[in-house]
Amino acid sequence: MSNSGETLGVLWNCMERRFMQAQRDEFSNQASLDYTDFWNVALAGGATKPRPKDVKVAIDHGAKVIGLGAHGDGCGGNPGVEDSALMDMLDAQIRQFHRDFSGLTVYALFSTLQGGTQVWRA
């Protein structure tokens, strides 16, 4: 799993206690990054929200593999928003990422209580 520090990443996900660690684990596995190989920006709403400067700081410091995380089943950062709308917001963030940056590998992560954490190249 270790890549000897050759590749760095950043996971930007929701601070939600039910899903944050699962998304860290899945991002680490799917991207083949050790926990010390990626930054983690965890804020309410995660990648459904406007991009915080912290994500760009990680990219400026060499992050090439990006994890964009969100979740369903009630997000404190998006009170009352349905899962399908949260997925749409995540999709919009993915498109914005590809407009703003090139040469990055992007993974999307979406977690629910029933479905666990889904990860895909985005």
Residues 20, 65, 66, 75: which binds Zn ion (CB under 5 A)? 75
Residues 11, 13, 16, 55: which binds Zn ion (CB under 5 A)? 16
Please state the closest distance from residue 3 (CB atom) to Zn ion, in A. 29
Question: Residue 81 class from Cβ within 10 Å (0-12 exposed, 13-18 middle, 19+ buried)?
Answer: middle
Question: Residue 107 class from Cβ within 10 Å (0-12 exposed, 13-18 middle, 19+ buried)?
Answer: buried
- Taking contact as CB under 5 A, which single stretch among the options 1-9, 20-28, 77-85, 86-94 is the one that binds Zn ion? 77-85
Identify the three-state secondary structure at position 111: strand
**The token pair that represents 79 in the structure block:** 């009170």
Interface with Zn ion, residue 14, by CB under 5 A: yes
Cβ proximity to Zn ion: between 9 and 71 the closer is: 71
Binding site for Zn ion (CB under 5 A): 14, 16, 75, 77
